Structure 1
Amino acid sequence: MLREAAISAYQIVLILLLAPLLTGIIKKMKALFQTRKGPNIFQPYFDLYKYLQKESVVSEHTSWIFRVTPLIYLSSMLVVAAIVPVVVTDSLLAFTGDLILVVYLFALARFFLALAGVDAGSAFGGMGSSREMAVSAIAEPAFMLPLFTMAVAAGTSNLTGIVQSVVNGGEGVLTVAHLMSFVALFVVAVAETGRIPVDNPDTHLELTMIHEGMLLEYSGRNLALLSFSVSIKQFLIFTLLVNIFFPWGIALASAGIGALMTGTLVFILKLIVIAMVMAVVETSFAKARLFKVPDLLLASLLIGLLGLVSKFVFRG
């Protein structure tokens, strides 16, 4: 029992330590593809340290929602981190957490962040919140459909059960439904992490902001908590991509230290590949017009729906 708890704690610590690094790797790769030098891959850690050293300035017009949002956002991501299998097939809350809980914890964090954007009374914050809610109205169903397809294939909505089912199925699980679901979830991951062509995480032009617009009123420690939480969310979504659809190399819960270290290295390599693909996508496309974003997400929703239907049509 102590060993299982230690492995689960190791996974959570790994998420917390590597989440900002993943953001730094994506920014560095984007710069290289654009023939720029780019920032150091450890720059997100330096930014978090800088924010922590500064005082938080809070508008007198804000309510308790603005103050508790960073804590709620971070808490939601930590609970998800305790549910999602990372380097082993088990997790701390595997016995009670499933993909439905994961989706709604993401929705809870988004809901409070959108409220905080409006709560400050800023015009740009309210604009960012309204855009975020409009995008999420399509992104959430598109996010759930690919996961439901994998749950139907595994016969359970428990993430540990889904991962074990794919591992035990070997290459035979690479069906049309499996691949279409991966494509659908990848498109949603672009939207959920606020990346081009849906959003631009590096912009400071208020008229084009979605996610960043809701953070404009935050500063100091509160901004550090939110920035860290957003990095964790990105890390978790990429983890779902690599561990639900391509979990080969992940260690079993009963594995020894050697298998655990091997599983960690394989997991990091898979994340780097996803980060490289994401950087290629961001470099290859321009920021889409706001009214074109629903078309992209609807395409993802249809791909996910076709994947779910094909699961029953082809029986595989």
Structure 2
Amino acid sequence: MAVKILITLGQFGFLILIAPLVNGIIKKIKAFTQCRRGPALLQPYFDMIKFLQREPVVSDHTSWVTQLTPIICLSAYLVAGSLVPLWEHESLGTGDIIALIYLFALARFFLALAALEPASAFGGMGSSREMMITSLVEPVMVAGLFGLAVVAGTTDLNGIRGSGQQPAGLLMFIGLLIVAVAETGRIPVDNPDTHLELTMVHEGMLLEYAGKQVGLLHLAAMIKQVILLILLVHLFWPQNTGTPAYLALVFMVGKVIGLGLVLAMVESVLAKMRLFKLPELMAGGMAFCLLAIVSTYLI
């Protein structure tokens, strides 16, 4: 049990260290494709250090929800990340894909609730948009993950490793990639780099935060992005059996960065969609997942 706990803590540290790097690479590639210089690769680390050194400014109209939301979001995503095996090892066995989905929902619920507390117009607008997008994204995520769980015969994350390596796996991958884009708030669903309040979704919910709190929320968002990319690698592009742990981690980082480059290219060639066009995008993702499930039984 002690070894399992140390492995879990090691995964926490790995996610915290690698998440800003992946985010920096995505921003750098996106800037390169747009003929811009862009920020430095390590700029997200510098931003985290800057935020964590500043004291938070909290509104008098808020309660403990606003105070604890950054910690809850970061903790929920770290625990969710610990459920996804980075290499072949025995996990604590405390959760599966159902727990993963609910941990994501827990963080989203508290963030939306905290954005409403200061009675800010932009916070309320961001929360309402976030909940609308969530109602569209979660059915697609559930359909995709449980479709792979049916193929593997289990909802355990160790058991569904590589379950997307089948003829219908490409359809399921496209559906879950759309989910990853929506969950991470990237174009065409949202623009993580926007400074226009009227177009904000995720960033709109963070306008009332400052200092350490906003730093923790930004770190939580980057960790969430990495978890979704790691999950795609785990389901569709896993490591070969018997690969040493250190090589498995290196390959995992390389594959996650590769998927990050895909996200950067998608952002560079597409424009942000209108909010009321998002149901069509999510319907397309659901169609890919359902077609994959149906074709799995037909083949």
Give the TM bin, normalised by the shorter chain. over 0.9
Structure 2 letter corresponding to 1:268 = V
Q: SS in structure 1 opposite 2:159?
A: helix
Q: Whole-Å Cα distance in 2 between the matches of residues 236 and 13 of structure 1?
A: 13
Q: Whole-Å Cα distance in 2 between the matches of residues 178 and 152 of structure 1?
A: 13
C-alpha contact (below 8 Å) 1:194/1:211 kept by paired residues: yes
The superposition leaves residues 118-149 of structure 1 with CA deviations (integer Å, 9 ceiling, x where unpaired) of 11110001000000000000100111111111
C-alpha contact (below 8 Å) 2:165/2:237 kept by paired residues: no
1:46 match: 46
Gaps of 5+ in 1: 167-172
Aligned residue pairs, count:
299
Change (3 A) 1:91 1:295: farther
Mapping of residues 198-217 of structure 1, within 5 Å: 198-217=189-208
Q: SS in structure 2 opposite 1:57?
A: coil
Root mean square deviation, CA, Å: 1.5
Mapping of residues 29-40 of structure 1, within 5 Å: 29-40=29-40
Q: SS in structure 1 opposite 2:253?
A: helix
Deviation, structure 1 residue 312: 1.6
Q: Whole-Å Cα distance in 1 between the matches of residues 25 and 91 of structure 2?
A: 28
Between the aligned residues of both structures, percent identity stands at: 49
1:92 match: 91
1:169 match: none
The superposition leaves residues 249-271 of structure 1 with CA deviations (integer Å, 9 ceiling, x where unpaired) of 4x65xx6xxx1121111111101
Q: SS in structure 1 opposite 2:88?
A: coil
Of 32-41 and 5-14, deviating more is 5-14
Q: Determine which of 274, 277, 295 is the counterpart of 2:280.
A: 295
C-alpha contact (below 8 Å) 1:51/1:223 kept by paired residues: yes
Change (3 A) 1:81 1:174: closer
Change (3 A) 1:24 1:55: same
Q: SS in structure 2 opposite 1:162?
A: coil
Deviation, structure 1 residue 248: 3.0
Q: Determine which of 150, 154, 157 is the counterpart of 2:155.
A: 157
Q: Whole-Å Cα distance in 1 between the matches of residues 234 and 21 of structure 2?
A: 19
Structure 1 letter corresponding to 2:291 = L
Gaps of 5+ in 2: none
Q: Determine which of 250, 257, 260 is the counterpart of 1:272.
A: 257
1:11 match: 11
Q: What is the TM-score when the length of structure 2 is the normalising length?
A: 0.96
Q: What is the TM-score when the length of structure 1 is the normalising length?
A: 0.91
Change (3 A) 1:67 1:260: same
